[in-house]
Structure 1
Amino acid sequence: MAVGWKSLSLVITLGSAVAAAQHRSVDASKLAAYGKSLPKVTVPTFGLEQATYLAAWPLSCVDHPQAAPEGAQYLWLYGERPKLPVDYDKTRAFYGCYDWHSAVNSTWMMVALSKDYPDLPLRRLMQEKLTEHLGEKNIAGELEFFKTAKNFEKPYGYAWLLKLHAELSTWNDPEAAKLTANIKPLQEFFSTKLVDYYDHLPVASRAGVHPNTAMSMVLVLDALSAVPNDALKAAVVRNANRLFVTDRDCPTAFEPGGTEFLSPCLAEAQLMSRILPREQFPQWLADFLPPLESPQFQTLAKSVDVSRITDKEEFAGKSHLIGLAFDRAYAMTEIADALPAKDARITLLQQLAAINAAGGLKGLPDAGYLGSHWLGTYAVLYLRTARHAPPQPSGPANALPPVDSTKPVNGDRSR
């Protein structure tokens, strides 16, 4: 039976009323009581000493060639046995740090620390490595490879490359201007490919690892805030709305799934904090996440205990779970910052972010090379964000722990 416009309008109106009636409310008194029960920790002081500690991590791996892969032949030549091309360091840029995306985000980390800490003792060495790896011929070789690489590193690696390019473009340094120009052809190629990728994505990936759609979009939006691209931004916005805006009741109790390094629920909430109008986001968040004080949310309330993972064959997964703490803290900090000033969830999200970060910092040295080749990047990603966040409740600060993580070990592919 056909439905007339008046009848259809009534159906829509009634449906909207029912949806509104199902909206969750935020109980400020419960949040306050729950917050008082949490341990008091603060974001650690992140200064020159801590930056020097973390800067050593990418320097220890950026020149260490990746192992022969089972999939895409990015670096190695195959004959009777795999071998490295004689000129690989002249025709590739991101050949270290265990895998391609980790080489890219480790390079981003060197740029970020060099920008933020002009007096960093390792700054000159990092700049030398940046110049060596981001030469015009190196990037030309990358571009030539990716023209036929199909879905290799899409979208996660692509998004990190855009973020690296954006970080370089905002660095007031003569050499950085050259490196930005060198990377630009690869950045433009990836940007075009990502528009097509997002527009043809039938469903979102909600995995807690690299294919996660929301996380790649967050990284892309980071880049676009410094290097605007109207076509790519429009693609991110329309597809984020298409894929996520009607979501609610995210199953936080199911996290983490296996050895994930991302929180699917928090990554989506972080993305939508940037996509939705500021006045709409608070209610969307209340409908999407369970109440922060609820049992369903507690699996996200602190870092994962990895003390029982002692087998080196499992260190890749162990490093993921350590890194998950930084991802949660990063997302919670941004979500809190997107809420209106008097929202009762802000203080609690900041507390939970600090608690997760404290666990992540404690676990930094515990996964050997399978952690050191990428974990520092996520620590800096969070610490940089937290530095600009509103003050947190007072409590003991967390120091960065000592680490001995320069020796590669065998294991599954990691960050």
Structure 2
Amino acid sequence: MTTALTPELAARFAETALGHVTREYPNHIMHALGGPDDARTPRELHPLFFGSYDWHSCVHSWWTLFTLARLFPGTLEATRTYALATELFTPEAIAGEIAYFERPAARLYQRPYGWSWLLMQAAELARHETPEGRHLHAMVQPLAEFLAARFKAFLPLADYPVRVGTHFNTAFALRQTLDYADAHDADLARACRDAALRWHASDRDCQAWEPCQDDFLSPALMVAELMRRALPVSEFPGWFDAFLPRIGVGEPATLLTPARISDRSDGKIAHLDGLNLSRGWCWRSIAAALPANHPARAIAMDAAERHLQSALAHVTGDYMGEHWLQTYALLAVRAGQD
């Protein structure tokens, strides 16, 4: 049986995110100091995205809340989300976030992971038909346009992909950014596809040396998910067959086996719950893009469900995972539906 997003599961995810998007501490600041005056608190540095332990987790936790508010309108959680967001998403707060990125020391800040999540957030808000949603989309759009411009300046300089299983993974960033770019920025969409093809069109026989202890993304499956999103529908199965030519017989087995998590209170080890959720997301999306008679389709669906089930119970329970895992759980249970 395939796990679905029920109202009960949605309420659990939303309640979790509402509990930390304005929680300022503990906080992991990735901040370059230009002088003693730059030593400031999270909320002083970021007037909007100061919660959820770090900037990018706060951004994508808001994406989670906005997505759930659209899918389950009229719920208590949706009402709370819109009320809190309307209070916090102001022109002044957005201007403050842009000002942070404009600092000379912030050229690399959140590249590419946080950039792509902010664009995903803007893409989600553009789907909202409520007055609150339209207002919030107008609020966040200047920051989205600012970071889209940064992406367009960066991608022509990026000769090589980054194939790690953490925040610097370029396949993940491009895959997420395409959701925004395809709807709102044709030049950015073109730049993303040009980079995807330049980096990965010739990828063959992936060896999948994973998982690593720090992974929350699968380096192998993120490339496959990017190419599913970037290629024409008719071209993806052929590319996939060359990329993972033995997956129909269960090889490499590591991509089909959920990772073991030895200590969920350890923020890095807890990444592996995210790996299981993001693999579930990728496998579901990939399976849906393969022909019904493809030998890997059933294997991919089975792997997706096993990965999802291994992690879903652990989305909440410890703040080191709780401040971000509900986003990846939502990606997994919603794969292929938007």
The TM-score with structure 2 as length reference comes to 0.92
Q: CA deviation at 1:351?
A: 1.2
Q: Deviations over 1:13-47 (max 9, x none)?
A: xxxxxxxxxxxxxxxxxxxxxxxxxxxxx332422
Moved more, 275-284 or 49-58: 275-284
Question: Which of 298, 309, 323 is the aligned partner of 2:263?
Answer: 309
The residue number in structure 2 matching 1:270 is 225
In 2, are the aligned partners of 1:332 and 1:350 still within 8 Å (CA)? Answer: yes
Question: Which of 220, 239, 243 is the aligned partner of 1:284?
Answer: 239
- Secondary structure at 1:324 match in 2: helix
The residue number in structure 2 matching 1:64 is 23
The residue number in structure 1 matching 2:84 is 129
Question: Which of 41, 54, 57 is the aligned partner of 1:84?
Answer: 41
Aligned ranges for residues 105-254 of structure 1 at < 5 Å?
105-148=60-103, 149-225=106-182, 227-252=183-208, 254=209
The residue number in structure 2 matching 1:324 is 275
Partner Cα distance (2:312, 2:257) in 1: 12
Q: CA deviation at 1:385?
A: 1.6
Aligned ranges for residues 351-366 of structure 1 at < 5 Å?
351-365=302-316
Q: CA deviation at 1:82?
A: 5.0
Q: Are the structure 2 counterparts of residues 45 and 244 from structure 1 closer, same or farther at C-alpha, using a change threshold of 3 Å?
A: closer
In 2, are the aligned partners of 1:68 and 1:82 still within 8 Å (CA)? Answer: no
- Secondary structure at 2:184 match in 1: coil
Q: Deviations over 1:158-213 (max 9, x none)?
A: 10001101111110111211111111111111111101211110210000001101
5+ residue gaps in structure 2? Answer: none
Partner Cα distance (1:326, 1:340) in 2: 24
One-letter identity of the residue aligned with 2:263: I
In 1, are the aligned partners of 2:28 and 2:54 still within 8 Å (CA)? Answer: no
In 2, are the aligned partners of 1:51 and 1:120 still within 8 Å (CA)? Answer: no
Q: CA deviation at 1:277?
A: 2.9
Q: Are the structure 2 counterparts of residues 190 and 286 from structure 1 closer, same or farther at C-alpha, using a change threshold of 3 Å?
A: same
- Which protein, 1 or 2, shows the higher relative CO under an 8 Å CA cutoff with sep ≥ 6? 1
One-letter identity of the residue aligned with 1:300: L
Q: CA deviation at 1:275?
A: 2.1
Tell me the number of residue pairs that the alignment of Structure 1 and Structure 2 aligns.
336
In 1, are the aligned partners of 2:248 and 2:296 still within 8 Å (CA)? Answer: no
Q: Deviations over 1:331-365 (max 9, x none)?
A: 11111122233323222211111111010113323
One-letter identity of the residue aligned with 2:212: G
One-letter identity of the residue aligned with 1:348: I
Q: Deviations over 1:279-312 (max 9, x none)?
A: 3322221111141255642112132121x326x4
Q: CA deviation at 1:73?
A: 5.2
In 1, are the aligned partners of 2:56 and 2:113 still within 8 Å (CA)? Answer: yes
Question: Which of 254, 270, 273 is the aligned partner of 1:299?
Answer: 254
5+ residue gaps in structure 1? Answer: 1-41, 390-415
The residue number in structure 2 matching 1:15 is none
- Secondary structure at 2:21 match in 1: coil
Larger Rg: 1
The TM-score with structure 1 as length reference comes to 0.76
Partner Cα distance (2:312, 2:134) in 1: 33
One-letter identity of the residue aligned with 2:329: A
- Secondary structure at 1:385 match in 2: coil
Instruction: Name the Cα RMSD after superposition.
Output: 2.4
One-letter identity of the residue aligned with 1:335: I
Partner Cα distance (1:177, 1:287) in 2: 43
Partner Cα distance (1:84, 1:280) in 2: 49
